[in-house]
Chain A
Amino acid sequence: MNDFIVKGIDGIDDSLIEEAMNYKRTRKPIYIAAGAVAAIAVFSAVMLNILRITEPTVPTVDGGAQTDDSYSGGGTNYGEDGKIILSDAKVSFTGTAITAEEIREIIEREKVTIASFIRHETPGAGDINISLVGYSHLQTDNNTISLDFVTLPVFTEDRLIGEVTLFRYDGEIHYSPAAGGPGWEVKTGIFDQNPDSELAFVYVGQLSEYMIAPDNTVYGMWEGESPLDDVPDCYTKYATEYNTFSFNKMIADKNYVTVPADVSNITLQ
């Protein structure tokens, strides 16, 4: 044992100790069986009786959830230096893309419940908009995009406040809203910096979502190094029509529905 180093670490600032003591990363992904929620009196009753957990949740960022079954939990390869080894394979696709008609149908049917949930996690949100277009994610462990999953941004007049992920499972399309936590501010900032760009969305390893701009700038939810930094021309390598999204194009095309602030089908406790 290196006593000196141990003593050094023992002498770190109290604030660091308390930070580590109190830290717990919370996530709020919930899977909801489409069509199962109607007018519900008590939100906790929704949680207990109506919501269906259909498969494991794999978190990506605070407040978000990766629901992609192509996710290779435990399969991430690490090099001797601890860095994630990215796949060299060509991009491949699995599943069946969720069509625009299917998206519109489920969002029109469930928009109030989705908005109610997200409003509960975002006090003072006002009118809530749910995009009718979104993006799948490329999983860099195997360079695969599962088309059975698509993520739709949820936003207010001036910021992103959540997402809803649609996914095919057992012959039906289900939805999973996510909100709360500080990650949405980061993502809002990324969209603000790239309003017209078709950003490419990828998952790296088991935790991290990254967005790549056409100029190959890589944005993560955290500051610091990115496993994609060493990938030359990574936008060309990872961007496809299925995992790219432009916020301004969605707005310009009016490809979203709005749930007014006073509309809710859930009484929240």
Chain B
Amino acid sequence: MDDKDIVSLYWERSESAIAETDRKYRSLCMRIARNILNDNSDAEECTNDAYLAVWNNIPPKRPEHFAAFVCRIVKNLALKKYEYIHAVKRNPDAQVSFDELDGLADNTDIEKLCSSKELGEKISDFLQSERQVNRVVFVRRYWFFDSPKEIAKRCSMTENAVNALLMRMRNRLKEYLRKEGVFDE
């Protein structure tokens, strides 16, 4: 079913809206949650919570990008859960993904220079200036928390190439954010 039709079902308060969402996006939601939580049952709980949250948000919202809307909710719920789960259960891939980003900002005061919303816009601008494959690799790694191995498969690359590309992109992003005044000189 088309995303717009699914959204319409939510607006009609039809219970089949959740069933259709589940049919189309369950595997994607589970994957996002599992990438963060590294646990099937936690991911399942998170996915089901996300459906409820979607139900509670539509209406009044009518998301233009429904898939991304659902993904965001799943991811946010998973990250909240992540904070409460013992470190040993965390997905090492997600943890490494976070660790890789640490090198981007070493100034503890950066939040005073730019809001996270503005930062999101700047990172979006940066990504739009990159080649499509670069954008995808970056977003799959740091938004979806896919492992380099999974990204390599998706993008027909090798893990080495993925890691090298990510390293170059982090360096370029760091430089870009510095020029944009997000970081102190």
Q: A: which residues have CB within 8 A of B? A: 1-2, 4-21, 23-25, 27, 59, 73-74, 76, 78, 81-84, 205-207, 222-224
Q: Which residue of B lies closest to A80 (CB)?
A: B167
Say how far A21's CB is from chain B's closest CB, in angstroms: 6
Say how far B99's CB is from chain A's closest CB, in angstroms: 7
Q: Bound complex: CA of A18 vs CA of B143, how far in Å? A: 11
Interface residue ranges of B65-111 to A (CB < 8 Å): 65, 67-69, 71-72, 75-76, 98-99, 101-102, 104-105, 110-111
In the complex, B127 has a CB within 8 A of chain A = yes
The contact of B155 among A11, A18, A25, by CB within 8 Å, is A25
Q: Is the CB of B116 within 8 A of A17?
A: no
Q: B: which residues have CB within 8 A of A? A: 28, 63-65, 67-69, 71-72, 75-76, 98-99, 101-102, 104-105, 110-111, 116-117, 119-124, 127-128, 130-136, 139-140, 142-144, 154-158, 160-161, 163-165, 167-168, 171
Q: Is the CB of A25 within 8 A of B156?
A: yes
Q: Is the CB of B116 within 8 A of A11?
A: yes
Q: Bound complex: CA of A73 vs CA of B128, how far in Å? A: 30
Q: Is the CB of A11 within 8 A of B117?
A: yes
Q: Which residue of A lies closest to B32 (CB)?
A: A21
Q: Bound complex: CA of A228 vs CA of B131, how far in Å? A: 18
Residues of B near A82 (CB, < 8 A) are 163-165, 167-168, 171
Q: Is the CB of B105 within 8 A of A5?
A: yes
Residues of B near A16 (CB, < 8 A) are 124, 127-128, 135, 139, 143
Q: Bound complex: CA of A31 vs CA of B102, how far in Å? A: 45
Given A10-B143, A14-B65, A18-B68, A78 and B131 touching (CB < 8 A)?
A: no
What are 13 contact pairs spanning A and B, CB under 8 A? A4-B119, A7-B120, A8-B122, A10-B143, A11-B116, A12-B127, A12-B139, A20-B144, A23-B155, A27-B156, A76-B158, A205-B161, A207-B157
